[in-house]
Amino acid sequence: MAARILVIDGQGGGLGRQLVAALAAACPEAELIAVGTNSLATSAMLKAGAARGATGENAVIVNSRRADVIVGPLGIVVADALLGEITPAMAAAVGQSSAQRVLVPVSQCDTYVAGVPDQPVSRLVAAAAQQVRALCASE
């Protein structure tokens, strides 16, 4: 059975778009599901190649339960991150999911991860895609 990969993003969906494109190339057999905190983010991820998409808090909650792997910016596990787009219920759903989580440490969520140097987003996206590929291969 193909892995179900959930990509979550907000704001303009730029990071999510890059993640979906990289994951489509790295894990072509996986089912890529895009969930945006707003319709602009969802649309960007669908255009990048996600198979299905949905928008909003309930979509994050429902799809977090069904995912094998969740990918997105670090802020998806921090309530009120992404300029307030991540609700406490969204953060809890991602954090409590049984899925593997691959979080990209971008600085826009006002959370600093000690020991992780600043890197270009393209390098972070490539590292995330490589990690997800390894997780999907081990299933």
Cα separation of 85 and 98, whole Å? Answer: 23
Q: Give the H/E segment covering residue 94.
A: helix 88-96
pLDDT confidence bin for 20, thresholds 50/70/90: very high
pLDDT of residue 117: 84
pLDDT confidence bin for 109, thresholds 50/70/90: low
Chain segment 50-98, per-residue pLDDT in tens: 999 999 999 999 999 999 999 999 999 999 999 999 999 999 999 999 9
pLDDT of 38 > 80? The answer is yes
For the segment 129-137, the average pLDDT, to the nearest whole number, is 91
By percentage, how much of the chain surpasses pLDDT 90?
A: 82
Coil, strand or helix at 89: helix
The whole-angstrom distance between residue 65's C-alpha and the CA centroid of its chain comes to 14
Domains of the chain: 4-137 (3.40.50)
Q: Which of 67, 69, 76 is nearest to 102 (CA)?
A: 69
Residue type, 120: P
For the segment 108-127, the average pLDDT, to the nearest whole number, is 84
